[in-house]
Amino acid sequence: MNLKKVLNNNAVIAMKDDQEVIIIGRGIAYGRSIGDVLDDRLIDKIFTLEDKDVMNKFKSLIVDMPIEYMKITEEIIAYAKVKLGKKINDSIYIHLTDHIHFAIERYNMGLPINNGLLWETKQLYKEEYEIGLEALNMICEQFGVLLPEDEAGFFALHIVNAELNEEMPVVRKMTKVMQEILTIVRYHFRIEFDEDSLLFYRFITHLKFFAQRLVKGNHYNSSSVKNLYDVVKEQFPEEFKCAQKIKKFIESSYTYPLMDEEILYLTIHIQRVVKENK
């Protein structure tokens, strides 16, 4: 691979198979000139980011970023991809690297930040939160810094953000909506959820995409559900009543009208998760 541009002593832009890539490696740019062949023995990581905008932002971030932060971020993301088995948007390389760098700086200055969504994150994004906890361990091993649990929650939200390809404010608003709906169901039926159950996980998954549609102003589109809607309404009257309560709250708080399709699937998911916890 040939050197195209030096970002700093430990990071360069090169060409690989006619594609621009970012390469990091300690001292990889030392004594090198544009067009030189790079020493493969010095390469720690090659970043091939498909989104050009993300690629350009990552270049800007790397210029003043110590190599250790880029490496630990890549290790955390690689771990997350294996654990989740899902595609994660490349933007996480920017946001998570920057957040980890800033979090460690704040810790060293004695300026921790409380995570107001920590409880909700632990409840709604269990897998991502567990990855966040492992990230704390990885950071501790690398930097000798034991960041607070709040940071595991922040890391989890960055992962959710990258899974859904959304910006962080959208994910925060989605989390709030999901928690509000769970509270309505919990109080309506006077139950506590089994948060480790498959049905609860399915309910949370449904709420996640419902909340995403709400925040973005989209609606679920399907063929007519009139017949099924009437059957579910008659067969599960109390669950339907709870769904109507959610509808009233959502329309009042977010001016987002719930279509029959949304009410139908909310009712079905509520029936399943409530039946399990009665």
Q: Which CATH superfamily is domain 52-164 in?
A: PRD domain (1.10.1790.10)
User: Is a pLDDT exceeding 70 seen at residue 115?
Assistant: yes
Q: What is the amino acid identity at position 91? A: S
Q: Quick one: pLDDT at residue 256? A: 93
What does each C-alpha distance from 71 to 12, 20, 210, 262 come to in angstroms?
14, 19, 35, 43
Structural domain spans, the chain: 1-48, 52-164, 168-277
Q: Using CA atoms, how far apart are residues 51 and 69, in angstroms rounded to an integer?
A: 21
Q: Quick one: pLDDT at residue 162? A: 93
Residue 142: exposure state from Cβ atoms within 10 A (0-12, 13-18, ≥19): middle
Q: Using CA atoms, how far apart are residues 228 and 192, in angstroms rounded to an integer?
A: 29
Q: Do 211 and 124 meet the contact criterion of CB atoms below 8 Å apart?
A: no
Can you say how many angstroms the Cα of residue 262 is from the centroid of all Cα atoms in its chain?
Answer: 24
What are the b/e assignments for 182-206, b being 16+ CB within 10 Å? bebbeebbeeebeeeeebbeebbeb
pLDDT in tens, 70-86: 889 999 999 999 999 98
pLDDT in tens, 159-170: 999 999 888 899
Q: Quick one: pLDDT at residue 226? A: 67
Mean pLDDT of 219-247: 85
Mean pLDDT of 217-225: 70
- The CATH code belonging to domain 1-48 is 2.30.24.10
**Upper half-sphere CA count for residue 214 (Cβ side, 13 Å):** 29
Determine if the pTM surpasses 0.75: yes
Q: Do 159 and 132 meet the contact criterion of CB atoms below 8 Å apart?
A: yes
Q: List beta partners, residue 19.
A: 16
User: Is a pLDDT exceeding 80 seen at residue 278?
Assistant: no
Q: Do 173 and 208 meet the contact criterion of CB atoms below 8 Å apart?
A: no
Q: List beta partners, residue 28.
A: none
Determine which of 48-57, 186-195, 210-219, 248-257 has the lowest per-residue pLDDT on average.
48-57
User: Is a pLDDT exceeding 80 seen at residue 237?
Assistant: yes
Tokens of residue 110, six digits: 């004695």
Which string of DSSP letters, residue by residue, matches 182-235?
Answer: HHHHHHHHT----TTSHHHHHHHHHHHHHHHHHHHT-----S--HHHHHHHHHH
User: Is a pLDDT exceeding 60 seen at residue 223?
Assistant: no
Q: Using CA atoms, how far apart are residues 24 and 146, in angstroms rounded to an integer?
A: 26
The CATH class, in words, for 168-277 is: mainly alpha
Higher pLDDT, 268 or 19: 268
Q: Which of 41-45, 148-152, 217-221, 261-265 has the highest mean pLDDT?
A: 148-152
CB atoms within 10 A of CB 154: 22
Q: Quick one: pLDDT at residue 43? A: 85
Tokens of residue 31, six digits: 């004594």
User: Is a pLDDT exceeding 80 seen at residue 50?
Assistant: no
User: What is the chain's mean pLDDT, rounded?
Assistant: 90
Q: Quick one: pLDDT at residue 138? A: 98
Band (221; pLDDT cuts 50, 70, 90): low
Common-topology check for domains 52-164 and 168-277:
yes
User: Is a pLDDT exceeding 60 seen at residue 224?
Assistant: no
pLDDT in tens, 98-111: 999 999 999 999 88
